[in-house]
Structure 1
Amino acid sequence: MNDNNQTIRNARDQQLVDYANRIAKKIAVTASQYDESGAFPHEHFRLLKKEGYLKLTIPKEYGGDELSLYEILLVQERLAKASGSTALAIGWHLMTFFSLSHFRPWKEEIFAEVCKTAVEKGYLLNVYSTERTAGNIVRGGKPSTTVKKNGSGYVLNGRKSFATLAPIVKQFTVLAYIEEEDKIAEFLVEKDDSVEIIDTWDVLGMRGTGSMDIAFHNTRLPETALLAYSEKGVFNRFTGKSSAYTLQLPAIYLGIATAARDFILKYATQRFSPSLNNYIVEAPHVQQKIGEIEILITVSRGLLYGLAEKWDIHQNIQDKLSHEVAVTKYTVCNNAIKIVELAMSIAGGHSLSKSLPLERYFRDVQCGAYNPPLNDMVLQNIANAAIQHFQDSINKEPQPS
């Protein structure tokens, strides 16, 4: 519904949109059920595997489709219209492979094997870095999850939180602290009996992502499990290339917002008001809100897809767009919240009923503020950059003799 927008540039884009819409239509049938129960949507992932969704961002050389940044945003926005939870959960898998493909920090033979298991066996992949005691390691914390050398390998102990896809992953990576080396590194872990999945995921929104806790009890790792060191101040796959892989996040929340827009347009054209003696879509205040919604969607899409196209085309500046990536995430996610709120204000008190999808959209869209980078971090970094730029410009001005 109302899918006519200028982000679809060519026939390939249209094919990808049609592909995503077809999958989304099937997932939408049970999306609300999984939201209600909080259960992990295994059937959704069986469908995604069957449809080849798991290999969208894997390099062609290893059997994947190697979608561009722009193209994966098109697909993920549509999937999120059906289920924000499913789009976000599979999104971390897609983002992981996208960042690995463009940065290539691991030994190539290991990366090739991980790609192969995803393409041929349907294995999902995610990285687990967040801890309840230390926070997000990428933000500067030191992991309490540790590894110790043991013969030719390592022993892993600790606990990670917000481990999206935990119920279904067979292999994943973790950031852990190597005590003997006083360094942080990324390790590849195969799930076995020493890996405990702890069902802590009972939350307000994005209830079907399976973002549980994972505990490691003397988990043995081979020497080859050490993938790459994470050194402070040195670009890595999480921070390199301006972290553009994270633009999937605003695309997902924009998808949820457009689902709310589509619903409220249908609702407003079918809801008759005796006091108006007409359908509520004819009320001036309703049209005002619809206009605001459309402007917010247009601005968000322009910002998001404009940046993605810039990143895809101009490889020489891919490392110089980190502020634009952060601003885009901040703007689109906050706009998405406003869009859903406007849609709810049109429906009034009915929007709070579980018989309508608006309350689910409202809960899901709030989660964008808690995906990295967080609002406070964006504002601080942008402010510091502006201040520094101003001070530098003053210092460059010729001084009176």
Structure 2
Amino acid sequence: MTPEGLLPDKLLERIRSRAAGYDRRNAFFHEDLQELAEAGYLKLFVPASDGGAGLGLEAAAQCQRRLATAAPATALAINMHLVWTGVAHVLAARGDHSLAFVLTEAAQGEIFAFGNSEAGNDSVLFDSRTFATPEQDGAYSFTGTKIFTSLSPAWTRLGIFGKDAAARDGAGELVHGFITRETSGYRILDDWDTLGMRASQSATTVLDGVTVPADRIFRKLPVGPNADPLIFAIFACFESLLAAVYTGLGERALTVGVETAKRRTSFKNSGRSYAQDPDIRWKVADAAMAMDNLYPSSGPSLPTSTPWPTMGPNGSPNWWA
């Protein structure tokens, strides 16, 4: 399945047409999410045998790149669902099926969100300011505050982690688990109003003794850096998909720049198109070459949706053909 197959032009244009309105109203992308779910987009990593697209990380990144050309905030929020399903995929490919239930539930329509980020925690995954307190039968209760919880209005599964400071003889242990939308003990704050990213609705989530049952605790790791496959999988998926979104954003910015330069005219130069201004041509060429550095050398250069120069009669690039 290609990015164009999963995100046909008509769907992409509908998503693009709504992006500015979401941001203007500080509204969540409900319509985008519904259409993407109906198109099977939330099942990129779900095996084809379970009704998904069966893609790997590289192909999923190309899909996200394409989506970001239409609606960056939508793409960033969808990233959080894809991070968890991608982590499950990456682990399974290495023989670790501890998150097999993530792919199973994604196939059933559940939406996963990423509830790990904490204000002031520059240790990221290697420590936590959230308290994880062991309870009976292997369950844990979590108390703390998570920020940038994208998909806040829509997630049905939220991945969280916290620290059991008394574990490992006082060295501490990081405990990872999932809660559901129906779990009690959490609050979502109405505190998201970020220009250009409003549609993601990445609100703060307050955990106030929320309990994760034993069967939803999927990792216990020592505090500090470690080589557990979960850590590799989270960073691999998060960073790759994030880079894909901003690559798509750059592609769209270049396209809009060319279109705008062609459309606008100069008062002082008798109505000539700004596309004929040498300074503007230089800036567009510089941006295009910067974008070209992002792509693998084994593949094509800029995608067909982005203007790429034809050669002029003197052998120099013609950016405006």
Determine the C-alpha separation between the residues in 2 that align with 1:151 and 1:79.
43
Contact 2:127 2:174 in 1 (8 A): no
Structure 2 unaligned segments of length 5 or more: list them.
301-321
Q: Which moved more, 1:234-243 or 1:35-44?
A: 234-243
Specify the SS of the correspondent of 1:130: coil
For 2:186, the aligned partner's letter is: V
- C-alpha displacement at 1:255, in angstroms? 1.0
Q: Give 1:136 shift.
A: 5.2
Query: Please, which runs of 5 or more residues in structure 1 have no aligned partner?
Result: 1-11, 307-401
1:31 aligns with 2:19: yes
Q: CA deviation at 1:180?
A: 4.4
CA deviation digits over 1:28-79, x for unaligned, max 9? 1110011112221111111111110000022335432221222112211111
Q: Percent identity?
A: 22
Structure 2 CA distance for aligned equivalents of residues 64 and 290 of structure 1: 39
Match of 2:112 in 1: 125
SS of 1:34's equivalent in the other structure is: helix
Residue 213 of structure 1, aligned match among 204, 207, 212: 204
The separation in 2 between residues aligned to 1:269 and 1:102, in whole angstroms, is 44
**Residues of 2 paired with 1:234 and 1:211: CA distance?**
28
SS of residue matched to 2:128: coil
> 1:261 — aligned with what?
254
Q: What is residue 158 of structure 2 aligned with on the other side? A: 172
Question: Structure 2 CA distance, aligned partners of 1:201 and 1:176?
Answer: 23
- 1:346-361 equivalence runs, <5 A: none
Which residues of 2 match residues 362-377 of structure 1 at below 5 A? none
Report the Cα distance in structure 2 between the residues aligned to 1:113 and 1:81, rounded to whole angstroms. Answer: 31
* Distance in 2 separating the partners of 1:78 and 1:304: 19
Q: How far apart are 1:183 and its partner, in Å?
A: 0.8
* 2:242 pairs with one of 236, 246, 249: 249
Q: CA offsets per residue over residues 359-399 of structure 1, 9 Å max, x none?
A: xxxxxxxxxxxxxxxxxxxxxxxxxxxxxxxxxxxxxxxxx
CA contact (8 A) 1:165 1:210 kept: yes
| CA–CA separation in structure 1 for the residues paired with 2:11 and 2:227 | 36
Letter in 2 for 1:236: D
Q: Secondary structure at the match of 1:184?
A: strand
- What aligned pairs does 1:277-296 form with structure 2 within 5 A after superposition? 277=270, 278-296=272-290
2:46 equivalent to 1:66? no
Displacement after TM superposition at 1:96 (Å): 1.7
Tell me the residue number matched to 1:162.
148
Who is 2:314 aligned against?
none
Deviation digits for residues 91-149 of structure 1 (CA, Å, limit 9, x no counterpart): 121122112211249984x63433222222x21113321222535532x4333232332
Q: Which amino acid letter does the alignment assign opposite residue 266 of structure 2?
A: S
Q: Residues 197 and 215 of structure 1 are in contact (CA less than 8 Å); yes or no, is this contact kept in structure 2?
A: yes
**Contact 1:86–1:209, Cα closer than 8 Å, also in 2:** yes
Partner of 2:4: 17
* CA positional deviation for 1:204: 3.4
In structure 2, the residue matched to 1:236 is 228
TM-score when normalising by structure 2? 0.81
- The match for 1:55 among 35, 43, 51 is 43
On the 8 A contact 1:28/1:82 being kept in 2, the answer is yes
Within the candidate set 214, 223, 241, 1:223 is matched to 214
Q: For 1:99 and 1:305, how far apart are their aligned partners in 2?
A: 25
Structure 1 135/164 Cα, relative in aligned 2: closer, same or farther at 3 Å?
Answer: farther
Does the Cα contact within 8 Å between 1:39 and 1:210 map onto a contact in 2?
yes
- Determine the structure 2 residue equivalent to 1:185: 175
Match of 1:320 in 2: none
Secondary structure of the equivalent of 2:200? coil
Structure 1 residue 196, shift from structure 2 partner: 1.0
The aligned amino acid for 2:208 is H
What's the CA shift string for 1:254-292, capped at 9, x where partnerless? 111111111121111121223223111011112111211
> How many residues were matched structurally?
290
